[in-house]
């Protein structure tokens, strides 16, 4: 269950970083992507919270620490540029995808088909998001500002 709590905190962080970074970027296409990632994150948080409730847990509703960390990253991006923050976001999405894939395997082994299916979908959701961010890191350095 600790792994799910950690995943939920990561989702709160993702939601915060995408909202804050979207307000900072200049490129309309990247801004639109980040805004959509922020909006979509609410659904992922709701799904994970529901899985946790079905397991008898009371999930957190937010994380001020994760909001502060997101704010810190966005502030740092003024010095480092957006590429570093986008790279961190891509790696976080990929990592979360692996976590959900592990949850899927665990629940499958227990015969919990519905929970396994939900975690499998959440894994694919995170993987698609990582793929959506990748092109912004493949562009020349100036393109992601």
In sequence order, what DSSP letters do the residues of 19-41 get, joined into one string?
HHHHTT---HHHHHHHHHHHHHH
Phi, psi of 64 (to 5 degrees): -65, -35
Domain extents in the chain: 2-144
Taking a C-beta distance cutoff of 8 angstroms, is the pair 11, 44 a contact? yes
Q: Point out the least confidently predicted range of 31-45, 72-86, 119-133.
A: 72-86
Reply yes or no on whether the pLDDT at 144 is more than 50.
no
**Interval 93-140: pLDDT, tens:** 999 999 999 999 999 999 999 999 999 999 999 999 999 999 999 877
**pTM score of the predicted model:** 0.88
Helix (H) or strand (E) holding 136: helix 113-138
Of the candidates 43, 50, 54, 44, the one whose C-alpha atom is nearest the C-alpha of residue 110 is: 54
Structure-block tokens of residue 139: 């562009």
Q: Point out the least confidently predicted range of 20-34, 71-85, 92-106.
A: 71-85
Superfamily the domain 2-144 falls into:
Ferritin, core subunit, four-helix bundle (1.20.1260.10)
Reply yes or no on whether the pLDDT at 142 is more than 70.
no
């Amino acid at each position: 269950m600790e792994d799910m709590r950690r995943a939920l905190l990561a989702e709160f962080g993702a939601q915060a970083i995408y909202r804050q970074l979207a307000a900072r970027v200049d490129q309309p296409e990247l801004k639109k992507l980040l805004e959509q990632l922020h909006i979509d994150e609410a659904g992922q948080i709701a799904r994970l919270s529901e899985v946790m409730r079905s397991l008898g847990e009371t999930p957190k509703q937010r994380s001020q620490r994760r909001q502060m960390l997101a704010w810190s990253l966005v502030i740092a991006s003024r010095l480092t540029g957006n590429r570093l923050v986008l790279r961190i976001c891509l790696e976080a999405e990929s990592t979360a995808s692996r976590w959900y894939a592990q949850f899927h395997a665990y629940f499958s082994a227990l015969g919990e088909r519905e929970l396994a299916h939900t975690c499998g979908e959440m894994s694919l959701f995170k993987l698609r998001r990582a793929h959506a961010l990748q092109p912004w890191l493949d562009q020349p350095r100036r393109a992601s500002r």
